[in-house]
Structures are given as structure tokens and as C-alpha cells.
Chain A
């Protein structure tokens, strides 16, 4: 079938799908009138049951903690898949991030060709601020807006700044592959170990077994804080690994046939 005919066929089918979707959505409650009981129940009991101020964090890491465990492993599997797919790229030694600076690679020219002193100075200044901000967002996930995911991506953006302003040799110097992989595995493993630890106390998997503390304090809400930190470490390490993989120097690339 020619592409034009295929596109016309899709326009017909797409209009049908759009109509069907809208027809189905007209049965939902109108916008702004959320009727369901589940959200109201969680809002009412989360503070007293978990001593947490951010109910969304309590839902993610406690009430629906098992779903977040699955999502952690999706992230882990995707980063592993990217590492596997791009293992032949880069230098001849395989997928080790080499610490030697490479002056003849062309990808650094593409990423930071003429990085000026101004951009390098600003990047050096902002990296520290971003790291502090990221740690703050991760740690206060249960107190205010924040959490492991948001803070993890913000932490990884400090390394992104290094990559963009200084090139990939500098990134490889600040992110040794074995260390970042270790941190990522530690973050994912910590989630599972915290869940298993509650089995030792005779509770269900991923029950909140630690003392809950005072609501509003940093050390409160039991295992939510620990899982938050674990997820923050894992997400940031995962994104740094993605940056390492995608930002590898490109050398002697020939297409595989």
C-alpha cells in the first residue's frame, strides 16, 4: 500500500478512535467534580497513619509501594538495555569509560565545540548549587513538594551540565562507570531490602515498620524516608549512566551489515 493511501486510511481510523474515546469519556464525572472515595480516604488518614505531610509521597512509597517497586525495575531494565545496546560504541576497549582525555574524538566537538570560559565558569558554579538543591528535594520529599524521582533527575542534571560545558572526557572523569553502576544497583536493592526487612518482623512485604516520629520533622514517616533516598540514588545514577552511554566518544564507527 502506498504511503498516501495508508495515511488516508489512518485519518479515517483516527477519526473513529477519537470519536470513540470522546464518547467513552463523556461517561466520566465532569471536570472538577471528583467523586471517588479512595482519594478522600487517603487524604484523611495519611497524616495520622504515616505522619507525613506530602500525601502523594505516602501514596507512592507506602500505600502503593509495590507499584513503585515495579517502576524502579522498569527504570533499571531500561538502563541495562541501553548499556547492552550501546556496548559496541565507543573506543576499542569495549564499554569502559576511559579516564584518558581524548582529543581526537568528534563527538566532543559536537557537544562542546567552542565552550567559552563564561559557560565553563557558570557551569562550574551551578553544578554545586544544583547538587545541593537536588539533595534538598530528595530529602524533604515527605515534608513538602519533592521526592526521590524529582530530586534524582535534578541531581543528574548536574552531570548533564558537566557533559555539555566540558565535554565527555570530563563527564567520564566525574562518573566512573563501575561506581555509578554500583550506586544504581544499591538504590534498587535498598528498596527490595527495606521491603524484605518488614518480613523479618512478621509484617507484610513493604510495611512501614520503622518508628514514625513527629510529623514535620526530617526524620519522620518511617521507611518512606529511606525508600525516598534509595529511589533518589537510583534515579540519579540511572540517568548518569544514560548520559555516559549516550555521550561516549565516537571512534572508527563502521556500519554492521
Chain B
């Protein structure tokens, strides 16, 4: 039971991949890709977590010696979130381009071996 967060992260990864593989609309695919990326946030933050009495690594109102959780994984996750959002934006622009060029946003009909 103390490995539940890691299992939830692995489950989100695989279910997001399932969504990517079986998608019928490119925008649905992009949102499933963001689910895959969010599994990594969960994994990172679960690795750096420490039980009470550890608290957030922000010492505004407590003296700087109190036990805290790991701040490095917070930094990695922040970077991850921003990169995920902007890459999703780039992919959405690509979807608009695909619609303009091929007339369809269904991955099943957009195979390069057709037409």
C-alpha cells in the first residue's frame, strides 16, 4: 500500500498511451498525451514526499531548520508542467495545419500510406 502512488502514476501512463493509440480525433490524442505527461508529475512528487512533520519547502513563517520535503522534484515538476502546456499548444497548431492540408483530423484516415 505504500507503493500506491507509483502504481497510480504507472496506470495513468499506460491509460494515456491507450488513449493515444486508440484515438479517433487528433485533439483527443493531444489531451491524452497531456495525461501521460501528468503521470510524471505524480511520480516525481511522490518520490520526494516525506511524512509529517515535514512540510512544504517554503520557510516564510517557520524557522529555516524545520524538516521539509524535497524541493528539487518540485523544480523538475514545475518545468515539466510549463513544457507540457507549450508543447500541447504547438501540437494544436499542427492539428490546424493538418486539417488545412488533409481535410480530416481522424488519425485512422490520415495514414501516410493512403491516397
Determine if chain A interacts with chain B: yes
**Are A64 and B75 closer than 8 Å at their CB atoms?**
yes
The CA-CA distance from A253 to B96 in the complex, in Å, is 12
Chain B residues, Cβ within 8 Å of A89 = 96
Question: Among A28, A38, A74, A255, which residue has its beta carbon within 8 angstroms of that of B100?
Answer: A255
Pick the interface stretch among A17-25, A91-99, A131-139, A181-189.
A17-25
Known contacts A21-B13, A85-B93, A144-B58: does B2 contact A32 (CB below 8 Å)? yes
Known contacts A32-B51, A242-B89, A246-B92: does B58 contact A59 (CB below 8 Å)? no
Q: Is A67 an interface residue (CB 8 A)?
A: yes
Known contacts A85-B94, A149-B82: does B101 contact A33 (CB below 8 Å)? no
The CA-CA distance from A79 to B87 in the complex, in Å, is 9
**Are B86 and A85 closer than 8 Å at their CB atoms?**
no
Total interface residues on A, CB under 8 Å, equals: 65
Q: Is B110 an interface residue (CB 8 A)?
A: no
Residues of A56-114 contacting chain B, CB below 8 A: 56, 58-60, 64, 67-68, 71, 74-75, 78-79, 81-82, 85-86, 88-89
Chain B residues, Cβ within 8 Å of A31 = 2-6, 46, 49
In the complex, the 4 A-B pairs of residues with the closest C-beta atoms, listed nearest first = A39-B70, A25-B6, A47-B64, A78-B86
- A55-B58, A75-B82 known; 17 new pairs, CB 8 Å cut-off, are A25-B9, A28-B6, A31-B46, A34-B48, A34-B70, A39-B73, A42-B71, A42-B72, A43-B68, A53-B64, A54-B59, A55-B59, A55-B68, A56-B74, A71-B83, A74-B83, A86-B96
